[in-house]
Amino acid sequence: MLKQWISTKEPYPVYVGSGLLSEAGNIFTEEFSELPKKTVVIISDSNVAPLYLHQAENSFRNIGCNVHTYEIPAGETSKNWALLGQALEHLAGLQITRSDCLVALGGGVVGDFTGFAASIYLRGIPFLQIPTTLLAAVDSSVGGKTAVDLKAGKNLAGTFWQPRAVLCDTDVFRTLSSEIFLDGVAESIKYGILRDQNLFADILNGGFQSRCASIVSRCISMKGEIVSEDEFDRGTRELLNLGHTFGHAIETCSHYQVTHGHAVAVGMHMAGIAAKRLGVCDPTCSGTITDALLQLGFHLECPYSPDDLYRVMLRDKKRKGNTIDLILPRSIGDCVIRPMPIADLLSCLQEQ
Ligand SMILES: NC(=O)c1ccc[n+]([C@@H]2O[C@H](COP(=O)([O-])OP(=O)(O)OC[C@H]3O[C@@H](n4cnc5c(N)ncnc54)[C@H](O)[C@@H]3O)[C@@H](O)[C@H]2O)c1
Ligand SMILES: [Zn+2]
């Protein structure tokens, strides 16, 4: 088992390894000694619950916790106010107190939903993350961003609320479809492009097949490093948006039929081309990114016109007045935040 700490204001441990789920209760108790006395509510979704809820429940029961479970429908549409309200009412009905604990067992949807519920129920109660998708493991379970969606867009209402601990059992990735696994691969290779050329190379050389826990752990440590530099997203954390400004536009244009990681992969390819045209990176760098993404199995054609993407990007919540920040690679392992005037954005898209 690999263990590391995320250095936010309240530091917390992240455990990664194979076969951890059935030991989750014991492992969490190592650093969270009050856990066995608590009532825990495990929140999961309708795909994950039949596969893993029983194991998780037993592991908490075995250490003495009083365990309740709560299931939400699988899918992004569960990140809504109405369902969040129902979950909060349910917690109140169970008389959950501030000294109890929520557990998110699922992908990013369950993690964001549970984290948000934990952050506002009784003005904040502890929660634990057990990510079950690769994307949730390397990205959403660490960093404390919680959210639900509004009609106007995704993740428009939320809080910063860090988990007490995160446990990732890499065995659960076996039941993911290859498409959903690839979503997480996109976020993982992103860390390599951002800050670590060895990680980039190791992922390309089949790291997920041969040393999954180690690769996941390195991705988490990269996310932890960036989050601890900027817990509340006022500066360097923006680097994590590599590929996301273009990617979000693609997701929106597709009405979310293109999944997040696949859209981000196309977005990173586009960021590489933009960096080359703007003279930010050397010419080989953008080709290296594109080849890597193709090798990993992504399709990089963008089915939307520059005009369509431009219209959506104007509404991007990361827009700052007349500029929009693009994260551009200088080389593999080194990226910069480059404000692009809105006036130049359309031609940048047309040059893709
Ligand atoms: N908080 C953050 O910092 C952050 C970062 C990135 C993404 N997100 C959010 O995360 C969400 C996307 O996360 P996701 O890609 O994990 O989506 P998801 O939670 O919807 O999971 C994808 C699908 O896989 C299923 N699933 C999960 N684990 C499984 C397993 N082990 N075996 C079989 N099926 C399984 C789920 O039921 C779902 O159908 C979005 O809502 C996004 O906004 C948040
Ligand atoms: Zn992302």
In angstroms, the CA 16 to CA 237 distance is: 23
State the average pLDDT for the chain.
96
Q: How many CB atoms lie within 10 A of CB 48?
A: 22
**Would you say the CB of residue 176 lies under 6 angstroms from ligand 1?**
yes
Tokens linked to 118 = 């934990």
**Residue 20, C-beta contacts closer than 8 angstroms, at least 6 positions apart:** 1, 27, 167, 168, 169
Residue-wise pLDDT for 118-129, tens only, equals 999 999 999 999
**Would you say the CB of residue 207 lies under 6 angstroms from ligand 1?**
no
CA-based nearest residue to 17, from 191, 212, 210: 212
Q: 324-341 b/e with 16+ CB inside 10 Å = b?
A: bbbbbbeebbebeebebe
pLDDT for position 87:
98
pLDDT for position 21:
98
In angstroms, the CA 281 to CA 273 distance is: 9
- Cα dihedral 147→150→156→160 (10° resolution): -20
> Is 80 exceeded by the pLDDT of residue 317?
no
- Return the biggest CA–CA distance within the chain: 61
Q: Phi first, then psi: give them for residue 110, nearest 5 degrees.
A: -65, -40
Class of domain 179-205+239-350: mainly alpha
> Is 80 exceeded by the pLDDT of residue 281?
yes
pLDDT band at 91 (very low <50, low <70, confident <90, very high): very high
Residue-wise pLDDT for 158-192, tens only, equals 999 999 999 999 999 999 999 999 999 999 999 99
pLDDT for position 283:
83
Q: Phi first, then psi: give them for residue 230, nearest 5 degrees.
A: -155, 70
pLDDT for position 123:
98
Compute, in angstroms, the gap from residue 321 CA to the centroid of ligand 2: 23
Ligand in closest contact with the CA of 112:
1
Compute, in angstroms, the gap from residue 241 CA to the centroid of ligand 2: 7
Query: What is the identity of the amino acid at 147?
Result: A
Which atom of ligand 1 is found nearest the CA of 154? 43
Residue-wise pLDDT for 151-161, tens only, equals 988 899 999 99
DSSP letter for 141, please: T
In angstroms, the CA 320 to CA 327 distance is: 14
At residue 320, the 3 state secondary structure works out as strand
Ligand in closest contact with the CA of 156:
1
At residue 80, the 3 state secondary structure works out as coil
Ligand in closest contact with the CA of 158:
1
In angstroms, the CA 24 to CA 53 distance is: 12
Q: What is the mean pLDDT of residues 191-197?
A: 97
CA-based nearest residue to 17, from 129, 226, 172: 172
Q: Which residue has the tokens 């479809």?
A: 177
Tokens linked to 186 = 């996109």
Class of domain 2-176: alpha beta
CA-based nearest residue to 147, from 90, 81, 205, 96: 81
Q: What is the mean pLDDT of residues 266-276?
A: 96
Query: What is the identity of the amino acid at 50?
Result: P
Which atom of ligand 1 is found nearest the CA of 147? 1
pLDDT for position 315:
84
**Would you say the CB of residue 112 lies under 6 angstroms from ligand 1?**
yes
> Is 90 exceeded by the pLDDT of residue 318?
no
Q: What is the mean pLDDT of residues 106-116?
A: 98
pTM: 0.96
Q: Please say whether the beta carbons of 311 and 215 come within 8 A.
A: no
- Give the whole-number percent of the chain exceeding pLDDT 90: 89
In angstroms, the CA 135 to CA 11 distance is: 22
DSSP letter for 10, please: S
Q: What is the mean pLDDT of residues 93-122?
A: 98
Residue-wise pLDDT for 220-233, tens only, equals 999 999 999 998 98
Domain segments of the chain: what residues?
Answer: 2-176, 179-205+239-350
